[in-house]
Structure 1
């Protein structure tokens, strides 16, 4: 089992051992471990000077960068809780996240990939032009902006924020770090569920660092590896399985602000990357690009959340011999099951994995709760151990629903156990679907459609897509006498939710009665999905326009 430690303790050890070695490489930036550590202490001093104390929540709305990593490490140093903000959020989603998480200080980029974050903040909290806190975000005391000109009255420039921290000495920072404990909350990860808005998963230092250490060991990571990950740092696949895997192993992490296939292939080749990771969509896009040439790559392994066909291609087409198969979810820090890099390829290809030391996994009948014996069928994957979340922030009912009475996390995923004790995930119990690795709850999109004045009822499902795994499909019933086109409804969604949630298929219907319904008059999503596949003529190789 991993030894419980704090992030600051691990960072200090790595800096002492590998201070001059490369820690992070991105477009136009290259940080050593000593530089990352120094910058994180400058930011930590700024946080302390701004009045942030242990347990306060600090939002980070930045793209993948060395600055994101340094800010994350800084929050951990002073005992603050990082709230990573999804940079794809629209205004309503951002407002919910910042308010529900009780964010007290927000560090954000002025703009990112053409998104005007400052303008979005003005829209949802006008008080940044006068004085914080405001009515919309009553807990938000300070906003720090990186870049940009003509800052709002209540917004502090990044330079001024760091300058304010200059008076905080090393002894004070060391004293703050010494007060942090491994079981303190390190990060609140917002993850989509069955409710209309995401839930904030509370993860501790021990949760995330322990998970990263176990993953690094199973992947066979060494300090000399160069690990390319395109996973967004605002996801646990980015924070735990990329940033912290790099930290606990001392290897160099490489990333990009967004997934550009040609640019990713160029980085893999130029930087001689030895490891990479991602879901099946990412690997298929890399292998399918016109500039792909396996002979120019230097990859030996990594991890993939992918099925047998894609795992086979990763080895045979991409030429990567030791990729591990991975399964997990945010509530488990996130990795639950992983194959070893030196497992027989057939086991890794077919997704047969083992839990980490000290983590228990069982298969239970989703209806009765009865345990399913190895080799005797499928059931819900349930998890108990040191990697399981502390709960959902300020959502006690949702937390109780996620756990069994004897302390097992209900994953909502279907799995099976082989006779030799390995597990594999085979499907999802929940209605939630994944678009290019992003979780989407149907209720999130349904509520956006329901807000349209012409819509009476909307039903949303995920349908297969050869490139993204799944995409959004929607069936909409209009109010009597109302008229609106499918293009107008899609445009409505585009303006109100992240692009990956926007329906790729949308059908206007006169009734849902032709689709089997439950006794409570609810549309059965599995029947609706089957209907959609026939209606839209979706095949195994269909790619949504």
Structure 2
């Protein structure tokens, strides 16, 4: 709490709209966004955002209206999203992994008036999938099943007759006086809503966390300072923009510092390696799986990764070996871990530069300034260091609630402002937080609480495994037991019986997985999180071996 940070970004800028204007003036000729051969300076980015804001005004968007973006990480995403926010709208980023019906549900629940959508991405026509999901309804707009949606803008040169192309949308804004856009931007303040970020839905129905301009600015001013982000950094943004890790720890953090953004639209190791080398990338936040795949890629040595100096990652399982390899093999000067969730504007704790590798690997660091973290038992009583319990968070960045969902909000927030995270964690004596699991993921083996993330961290030490996930499955005698889904290193002949036998030597009996399935890859969402609900439905075997431990 006593850490000295730069001037608070919320008081310095007041709103994201003014942040964009300030960044354009302060960093004018510096590269803001690089997308293939397209290179846009901060001054040019500011002008493009103002044009998009003018087009939103021309389209009838009023302050407080919801405007959605359903598209991958691109320059157009940045411009359309920031343009909407500058016009006074509340941004609703939509998960690019959603199918048409799922995206339509978010649009319907938020009553979005305007949607920016990509054309075809990863072989899927988002427009067509949305049409199929909304063909029934009494609306008069472009999609009958979404009566509040007045306009759909396709971020491409072609669009269906009842939709609008990106170019035509921007052209309509040319009739709006610059002063009208400036007035909209100047009317925004720290307490105005900036976005509704929907949870990933890995454990249930996605809910929309309502966040303000001030919360975002202050949180990522702190994040940028603690991470050590600099104006001369070149930042590869692989984390999806619909998630706080991509949009706020990426785009907003870069705007605050004047760093160069290099958006990557697909989670691809080969593309990341090429971008790292070609663009002299110095900053690469992302899930542990991304960094593990970079280290293990057979063509890594052919790429010059020497500019990489800062890695920020976060998950329940960050192997110590990963931290040591990033520092040793790639010579990354700073490796940090962090923890956050959509409901806390994406950040709660962070390691600090200079923390030892074992703290970075084993914990998610300490509470950021202005934040309280508490671990409690089932009755809500605070627990001492070393005791696992539910993690509660209180601070300026905690959401006001879920959008138009008072029942879910009441479950998530206590009357005195504590956010119930649903995560199980342990605080050490120094205040470092170790997330051990989701409360919903915990299973009970013969009366013992088993935490999948703890078991995963133990299994990750096996030299023949690259990834592993554990779930609880029913057992007639013990109630529940563990089942592991594991990815073997290329060439490994590890069997399920081998892994179970190894586990018996390395962990308590109740933690040992009773079943093991070897798979080619774990199912992940666009944020890099393992989708355990897919595993619970019974992921099919894809590289050939399954085993069961008959003796427990």
What range describes the TM-score normalised by the shorter chain of this pair?
0.7 to 0.9
TM alignment of 1:4-83, pairs within 5 A: 4=10, 5-83=14-92
C-alpha distance 414-312 of structure 1, shift in aligned 2 (>3 A): farther
Q: CA deviation at 1:131?
A: 3.9
Give runs of aligned pairs for residues 260-271 of structure 1, distance below 5 A.
Answer: 260-271=268-279
Task: Tell me which residue corresponds to 2:259.
Answer: 251
Alpha-carbon distance, 1:317 to partner: 2.8
Question: Shift of residue 275 of structure 1?
Answer: 1.2
How do 1:86-485 residues align onto structure 2 when only pairs under 5 Å count? 86-126=95-135, 131-132=140-141, 135-147=144-156, 149=158, 151-193=159-201, 196-293=204-301, 296-305=305-314, 306-351=318-363, 353-365=365-377, 367-373=378-384, 375-431=385-441, 467=466, 469-470=468-469
- Do the aligned partners of residues 33 and 470 (structure 1) sit closer, same or farther apart at CA in structure 2, a change above 3 Å counting? farther
C-alpha deviations, 1:130-163, integer Å up to 9, x for none?
Answer: 94165521211111112254x4343122222111
Residues 93 and 268 (structure 1 numbering): CA distance in 2 closer, same or farther, change over 3 Å? same
SS of residue in 1 equivalent to 2:229: coil
In structure 2, relative to structure 1, the CA distance for the partners of 1:322 and 1:209 (3 Å cut) is: same
User: CA 1:407 to 1:515, structure 2 compared with 1: closer, same or farther past 3 Å?
Assistant: farther
SS at match of 1:536: strand
Contact preservation (8 Å) 2:35, 2:75: yes
Residues 17-75 of structure 1, C-alpha deviations (whole Å, 9 max, x = no match): 11110111123322111111111111111110111011101111121111111112111
Residue-by-residue CA offset, 1:233-286 (whole Å, 9 max, x unaligned): 111110111111111111111121102212211211121111111111111111
SS of residue in 2 equivalent to 1:282: helix
Describe the SS at the equivalent of 2:348: strand
Q: 1:536 aligns with which of 502, 516, 520?
A: 516
Q: CA separation in 1, counterparts of 2:342 and 2:481?
A: 24
Alpha-carbon distance in 2 for matches of 1:27, 1:224 = 19
Asked if structure 2 preserves the Cα contact closer than 8 Å seen for 1:417 and 1:423, the reply is: yes
Structure 1 Cα separation of the partners of residues 88 and 477 of structure 2: 52
Q: Does structure 1 retain, via aligned residues, the 8 Å contact 2:484–2:517?
A: no
CA contact (8 A) 1:59 1:98 kept: yes
Counterparts of 1:66 and 1:326 in 2: how far apart (Å)? 27
Whether contact under 8 Å (1:128, 1:152) holds in the other structure is no
Q: What is the CA-CA distance between 1:532 and the residue it aligns to?
A: 11
Offset at 1:105? 0.6
2:531 matched to which residue of 1? none
- 2:340/2:347 contact within 8 Å kept: yes
Would the alpha carbon gap of residues 11 and 316 (structure 1) be closer, same or farther in structure 2, given more than 3 Å must change?
same
Alpha-carbon distance in structure 2 between the residues aligned to 1:343 and 1:239: 26
Q: Kindly provide the CA deviation profile for residues 206-245 of structure 1, in whole angstroms up to 9, marking residues without a partner as x.
A: 1222221111101111101111121111111101111111
User: Helix, strand or coil for the counterpart of 1:138?
Assistant: coil
- TM-score w.r.t. length of structure 1: 0.79
Residue matched to 2:548: none
Task: Give the number of equivalent residue pairs.
Answer: 470
Worse-superposed segment, 123-132 or 70-79: 123-132
Deviation (angstroms), 1:415: 1.8
Q: CA deviation at 1:319?
A: 2.2
CA distance in structure 2 between the partners assigned to 1:267 and 1:282 by the alignment: 14
The 3-state SS of whatever aligns with 1:318 is coil
CA distance in 1, matches of 2:236, 2:257: 14
Separation in 1, partners of 2:484, 2:272: 37
Paired residues of 2:351 and 2:364 also in contact (CA < 8 A):
yes
Distance in 2 between the 1:128 and 1:314 partners? 53
Any conservation in 2 of the 1:308–1:351 contact (CA below 8 Å)? no
In the TM superposition, what whole-angstrom CA distance separates every residue of 1:380-416 from its partner, at most 9, and x where no partner exists? Answer: 1111111111211111111110112321001111222
Provide the rounded CA distance (Å) in 2 between the counterparts of 1:378 and 1:342. 26
CA change 1:87–1:352 in 2 (3 A) is: closer
CA deviation map 1:352-407 (0-9, x unaligned): 51211111111111x1111012x342221111111111211111111110112321
Are 1:110 and 1:148, in contact at CA under 8 Å, matched by a contact in 2?
Answer: no
